[in-house]
């Protein structure tokens, strides 16, 4: 019996898509403005998942260098056919709708081809593309008809579909409307499946917040017409007390021993009213059964976190794939030199769209990160980032150490004068400590520094300000090191956390 851990992937891993190839499963998620883009995780038992690579590892594959916050890599679909992995995705406000291929899911992946309109005038307008093949080999791209640019920006046309010549990456027809769900807002995340002689079209609707859910329809062919399931939504946590909320945007796959599984996104909110989701949208999994009437039934998502983890990083080898940077590859903003991670400031702060920042996803609700830094010739530090307008940091250099909170243009600082240029910086994310359950926040940041063996407690900051509901972000917390000016060297990194 497979144990479904939930989250399946901790931390910022939204919009999951999965494919089974033999006795292995490959899972892709969104990355928005971060690079490397579109991580690929592999499992051989659906319990243990390993990051094996990324789709976008080279400049030009995604045009995220100047996308606005929350632009970039949106909602992949990963599939496998005739020995080739296929991944379709929208590079929102960047290149457009793209198709990538690879012989090995670990990479390298192709440069990515635009999926063009029938007249070749540009990329198909839409998001969350799915790729499927009909019985005769016809390629179908089914997608959410949200227009992202031009005079019609914001217009939503429901779920659209085109047949595509995959050799030329061009639509063979004008888009057709195939279904618009059951009336929920933002019908999106379509996936087409052939099962038991019928074709099923599964979508998300209700928005990716508390109203999120999964609905399904079926027809005799991939083009429909589609009949709406009588029990929709198949999955939703709306108006419930479940610890995992916002469940939706799912993909179906046959798991070990023949059982079916739905992977989907969700959040783990905390506070008295469970209003704040510190880690953003994560990947979850839940069992699926095919009923006698041919419709799938999907169980509610149950919380089942893994044990806590401790990660100790020394910089005697290139950074592994868990490290990400903002609108740039980690190698463009940092370098591993002589056992140190070195960042050289450009004057840009974390308020800038192009900070000299490299980090890792926060994976646990209770979490502590410590870094040893040398700021003898620079200014920089340790930060938790949601985006340019929401971040907290401990910054050292120039004879002082400063804790700082930046919340939508509001800035508060706590500064101590110090003589040392080598010190440890700390950011701990701890439960608010209200045993009565009346806390009005997700967690509390404890910002500090250890100087000459003495830990200085600099500030405590309400964690709700770095939650997806406050920042209104599609991403999640990323904890990293940064440089503002001069050279900042990091000699060690320790992250420890759990989800108790």
Instruction: Give the number of other Cβ atoms within 10 Å of residue 168's Cβ.
Output: 11
Question: Residue 54, CB half-sphere, CA atoms under 13 Å: how many?
Answer: 22
Contact 498, 311 (CB under 8 A): no
Residues ≥6 apart with Cβ < 8 Å to 353? 66, 69, 326, 327, 388
Beta bridge partners of 27: 18, 41
Query: Which residues are within 8 A (CB) of 84 and not within 5 positions of it... i.e. 6 or more apart?
Result: 101, 102, 103
Q: Tokens for 277, please give them.
A: 């989701």
Which position has the token pair 């995220």?
Answer: 64
Q: Active site residue: 33, 130, 188, 395, which one?
A: 188
Q: Cβ of 120: how many Cβ atoms within 10 Å?
A: 11
Report how far apart the first and last C-alpha atoms of the chain are (Å, whole number): 25
CB contact at 8 A, 227 and 167: no
Q: Give the DSSP per-residue string, 70-123.
A: T-EEEEEEEEEETTEEEEEEEEETTTEEEEEEESSTTSPPP--EE-B-TTSSSB
pLDDT of residue 436: 56
The continuous run of DSSP H or E covering 313 comes out as strand 309-314
Is the CB of residue 476 less than 8 Å from the CB of residue 11? yes
pLDDT of amino acid 437: 66
CB atoms within 10 A of CB 58: 15
User: Nearest 5°: phi and psi at 293?
Assistant: -85, 5
pLDDT at res. 149: 78
pLDDT at position 500 is 76
Task: Verify whether residue 205 is a known catalytic residue.
Answer: no
Domains 17-298 and 309-498 share a fold: no
State the Cα–Cα distance between residues 191 and 202, nearest whole angstrom.
5
Q: How far apart are CA 395 and CA 498, in angstroms?
A: 26
Distance from the Cα of residue 324 to its chain's centroid: 12
Q: What integer pLDDT is reported at residue 147 of this predicted model?
A: 83
Task: Establish whether 15 is a catalytic residue.
Answer: yes
The answer to whether the CB of 391 falls within 8 A of the CB of 350 is: yes
Instruction: Could you please state the CATH topology (level 3) that the domain comprising 17-298 is classified under.
Output: Tachylectin-2; Chain A (2.115.10)
What pLDDT does residue 271 have? 92
Q: How far is CA 321 from the centre of its chain?
A: 14
Collapsed DSSP state (helix, strand, coil) of residue 486? strand
CA 358, 61, 73, 365 torsion-angle sign = negative
Tokens describing residue 88: 């379709």
- The answer to whether 59 and 101 are in contact (CB under 8 A) is no
For each successive 10 residues of the chain (500 residues), what is the average pLDDT? 94 98 98 98 98 97 95 98 98 97 98 97 95 97 89 86 97 96 95 97 96 98 97 96 97 96 97 94 98 96 96 96 98 97 98 98 98 98 98 98 97 97 97 76 97 96 96 96 98 95
DSSP reduced 3-state for 465: helix
**In whole angstroms, what is the distance from residue 361 CA to residue 341 CA?**
18
C-alpha span between 252 and 13 (Å, rounded) = 17
Rounded CA gap, 120 and 171, in Å? 8
Structure tokens at 280: 């953003």
Of residues 15, 282, 393, 428, which has the active-site annotation? Answer: 15
What does DSSP assign to residue 464?
A: G
| Class for the domain spanning 309-498 | mainly beta
Here the tokens at position 257 are 């021993």
Q: How many helices, marked H, and strands, marked E, lie in the chain? A: 2, 36
| Strand pairing category for 113-114 and 127-133 | unpaired
| Boundaries of every domain in the chain | 17-298, 309-498
């Amino acid at each position: 019996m497979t144990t479904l851990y939930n989250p399946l992937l901790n931390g910022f891993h939204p919009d999951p898509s999965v494919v089974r190839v033999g006795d292995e499963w490959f899972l892709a998620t969104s990355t928005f403005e971060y690079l490397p883009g579109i991580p690929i995780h592999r499992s051989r038992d659906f319990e243990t998942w390993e990051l094996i690579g990324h789709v976008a590892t080279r400049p030009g594959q995604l045009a995220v260098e100047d996308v606005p916050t929350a632009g970039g890599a949106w909602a992949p679909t990963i599939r496998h056919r005739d020995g080739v992995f296929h991944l379709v995705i929208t590079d929102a406000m960047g290149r457009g709708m793209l198709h990538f291929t690879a012989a090995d899911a670990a990479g390298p992946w192709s440069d990515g081809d635009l999926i063009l309109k029938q007249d070749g005038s540009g990329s198909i307008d839409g998001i969350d593309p799915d790729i499927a093949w009909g019985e005769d080999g016809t390629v179908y791209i089914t997608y959410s008809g949200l227009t992202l640019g031009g005079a019609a920006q914001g217009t939503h046309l429901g779920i659209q579909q085109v047949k595509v010549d995959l050799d030329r990456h061009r639509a063979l027809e004008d888009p057709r409307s195939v279904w618009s769900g059951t009336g929920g807002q933002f019908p999106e995340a379509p996936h087409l499946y052939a099962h038991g002689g019928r074709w099923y079209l599964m979508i998300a609707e209700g928005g990716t917040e508390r109203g999120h859910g999964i609905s399904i329809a079926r027809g005799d062919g991939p083009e429909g017409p589609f009949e709406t399931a009588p029990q929709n939504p198949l999955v939703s946590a709306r108006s419930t007390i479940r610890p995992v909320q916002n469940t939706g945007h799912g993909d179906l796959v046959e798991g070990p021993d023949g059982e079916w599984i739905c992977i989907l996104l969700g959040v783990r909110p905390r506070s008295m009213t469970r209003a704040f989701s510190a880690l953003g949208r994560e990947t979850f999994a839940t069992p699926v059964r095919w009923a006698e009437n041919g419709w799938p039934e999907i169980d509610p998502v149950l919380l089942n976190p893994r044990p806590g983890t401790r990660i100790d990083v020394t910089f005697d080898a290139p950074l592994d794939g868990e490290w990400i940077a903002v609108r740039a590859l980690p190698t463009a903003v940092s370098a591993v030199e002589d056992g140190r991670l070195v960042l050289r400031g450009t004057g840009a702060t974390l308020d800038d769209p192009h900070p000299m920042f490299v980090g890792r996803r926060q994976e646990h609700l209770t979490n502590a990160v410590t870094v040893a830094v040398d700021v003898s010739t620079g200014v920089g530090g340790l930060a938790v980032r949601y985006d340019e307008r929401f971040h907290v940091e401990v910054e050292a250099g120039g004879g002082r150490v400063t804790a700082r909170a930046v919340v939508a243009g509001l800035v508060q600082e706590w500064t101590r004068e110090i003589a040392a240029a080598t010190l440890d910086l700390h950011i701990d994310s701890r439960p608010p400590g209200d045993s009565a359950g009346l806390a009005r926040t997700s967690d509390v940041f404890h910002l500090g520094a250890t100087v000459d063996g003495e830990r200085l407690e600099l500030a405590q900051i309400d964690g709700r300000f770095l939650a997806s509901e406050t920042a209104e972000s599609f991403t999640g917390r990323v904890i990293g090191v940064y440089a503002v000016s001069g050279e900042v060297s990091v000699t060690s990194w320790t992250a420890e956390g759990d989800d108790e």
